[in-house]
Chains A and B, each alone.
Chain A
Amino acid sequence: MSSFVSNFKALASEKTHDLRHRQFIRTALRGYEAARDRRKGAFRSWESARQSAAETKWQAINHLDAHLVALTAKLEARGTKVHWASTAAQAREIIAQILRDKKARSIIKSKAMTSEEIHLNHALEQEGFTVVESDLGEFIVQLRRETPYHIVFPSMHLTRGEIKDLFQRELGDAPSDNPEDLTMVARRVMRQKYIAADVGFTGANFAIAETGMISITENEGNARLTAALPKTMVTLLGIEKVLPRFADLALFLPMLATAGAGQPMTCYNTMYSGPRQPGEVDGPEEWHVVLLDNRRTELLADVEQRDALHCIRCGACLNVCPIFRNVGGHTYGTTYSGPIGSVITPHLRGLQDWKHLSNASSLCGACTETCPVKIDLHHHLLHNRRNASVSKPAFFERMAYQVFGIVANEPKFWWLAKKIGWLTQPFQKLVKGSALDPAKAWTKTRDLPPMPQETFKDWWENRK
């Protein structure tokens, strides 16, 4: 068993037994569920909106080359420097080089899951740069030296008491455990960091090919400040973020807000088309946009699962997933958790190491039903299972099915197996769930139903 699987199993069993954690996550999501349903209901047709969004993303992804060429030409025409990175290492090096060239020391960051994906903070800190996360949730997990718990709500696993203690310890400032007071502490700390920062770093939610823009969605205003105050701005985004037209945002912005947080619109949706332009009063003098592949093109080559690139990272599939809600975000051990993480991580980081995530699913389909761009998530989990067993069949499983095939095909063997079952099942009770029980994996937490006394065949013969 690989260490990824054993870590997952150990953490999953710890978390599922942690009733406080389960209760806490359920309570935290209750408000979201009500708001999301209310906002969906406000759409004249949420279903048609989903279909339109899926079609638009299909168009974007299936003509990705043309859209990227158009996007970058427009960006460059207004003075933006565009960089291309095939791998995480290349992206890290491009960004570090920009910082070195600028002789930068401190970097203020707004939320970007792609930067988690390439482990950017670690690399920059190693080189001696100071990196400050400005999104409140990201700031909190950074102080805890943790990864985000959720792709949209990074600190949702922490109670206000834990955050108060953290602020007291790390910042020496925590007047109370009231969320408002704690937020104001972070606001004060961050203001000065903004003014002192040499470089502002952001992620992106959408890139508009038609007009050459990067669109950033946020509630706090931290990305707005990141893109306004420092002299140099760096934006990192995956190549799959493109949308064909400016007007597509009219659909995607409210859908992202509704699916992700139950809001009609996120508080700030901002489109950037260049660094400070002639005649403008502020904004960065230089803007670098880094386009990241990092095996997205491999996913693109898999026609069956290509639509996983349609994902707009709204987090809705995490929120509805019974597995996510019970095992929690950190158990996955991945940048992207929940159903979408289980689908794409095997592509981004290796099928054999991460196939277990596709098995950790009840295949209930709640994710597919909620996804605003209609990604067929739960079928992709099945595709991953199939691909994993085709590329490396499990020896024991194959043997078991071969034996079953022989027994089931031969009436005499079947009859014998039946008899043995009847005779031995009463003894199973004595060893139930222990190491001696052959069905231990199942019976540890469940009962094995008793074999019926009369088989279908017997019943058929005796029915008159």
Chain B
Amino acid sequence: MSERENILGRIREALQTKAPLPGPHQARGTVMPAVPAIRKWLPPVGTSAEEQTVLFAQNAADLKADFQLFASADELKTALVKVRDAEKWRRIASHGGVLSDFACQALGLPVVLTDRSYHVQEMEQCDVAITECDLLVAQTGGVVVTSRSAGGRALSVLPPHHVVIARRDQLVADLPAAFSRLQQKYAPDYPSMISFITGPSRTGDIERILVLGAHGPKRLTVFCL
């Protein structure tokens, strides 16, 4: 018999005896909470899009991420050029996409694109990664990227600064909404990696003192059009 059958056999035998339900259940028909119920317990997110934008900005600031909202493509371009000059970027890493192409053009720097194949060493030398994303989550101030929408698995973690270019309509209120949007967009053929990025990389492993940029980017910028 294979180990698979051995383990499943032991599990089935163990489950012959029922375990008591957790908490006061007798009155209820079902034990597992329905998915919409989850939303009721999580931190409040307000009702209007404006409130949620403000909430996203607050949460992003708490996480030490930069968030800016722009009224036009020109404003976005100006902001990008400003960071480029302040941080003296020389090389960028990015991937093909409407927003990311626009950003790369605006910056006018040599670009390492991940769309076909790329060299890890080359990407490692870049000063910044510019990617698109799937979603912004107001409840947490984080962004959701996938291997399909954001130039693969490494791009959003390897360079020292990650700049996300997003659209307003990518903002969702809370985590349950984020998961259901992902499900609607991709199921059953999910990208092989889906990552909820909530702030720049960090560690507290030395005396529990916060340090940004442990392995991933030291800075996370979200520019939203």
Contacts and interface: CB of A to CB of B under 8 A. Distances in A.
Given A247-B176, A266-B198, A268-B195, A307 B151 contact: no
B22 A51 contact: yes
Q: How large is the interface on B (under 10, 10 to 19, 20 to 34, 35 or more residues)?
A: 35 or more
B29 interface: no
A155 B32 contact: no
The residue among B121, B200, B204 with the most chain A CB atoms within 10 A of its own CB is: B204
Contacts of B59: 264
A283 B216 contact: no
B102 interface: no
Contacts of B69: none
Contacts of A184: 213
Nearest to B190: A273
B41 A43 contact: yes
Interface pairs A-B: 10 shortest CB-CB: A221-B216, A220-B214, A228-B153, A137-B205, A301-B14, A250-B175, A49-B41, A297-B10, A179-B206, A281-B152
B70 interface: no
Interface in B193-222: 193-209, 211, 213-217
Nearest to B197: A268
Interface in A78-98: 78, 83-86, 90
B208 A297 contact: no
Contacts of A409: none
A31 B210 CA distance: 11
Given A227-B153, A282-B114, 4 more contacts: A51-B22, A222-B214, A273-B190, A303-B19
Contacts of B62: 264
A37 to B, nearest CB: 14
A250 B215 contact: no
B140 interface: yes
Contacts, number: 302
Contacts of A84: 2-4, 6-7
Contacts of A283: 147, 152-153, 192-193
Interface string A239-269: 1000011111111011000000101111111
A31 B35 CA distance: 33
B148 A280 contact: yes
Contacts of A251: 38, 41-42, 175
B196 to A, nearest CB: 4
Given A59-B32, A221-B217, A264-B43, A179 B209 contact: yes
B22 A297 contact: no
A211 B187 contact: yes
B32 A244 contact: yes
Contacts of A160: 206-207
Contacts of A374: 22-23
Contacts of B12: 65
Nearest to B160: A187
Contacts of B187: 211
A265 B196 contact: yes
A225 interface: yes
B221 to A, nearest CB: 15
A306 B192 contact: no
Interface in B167-206: 174-176, 178-180, 182-183, 187-188, 190-206
Interface in A253-299: 253-254, 261, 263-277, 279-283, 291, 293, 297
Interface in B34-93: 35, 37-44, 59, 62-63
A133 to B, nearest CB: 11
Interface in A184-225: 184, 186-187, 190-191, 195, 211, 213, 219-222, 224-225
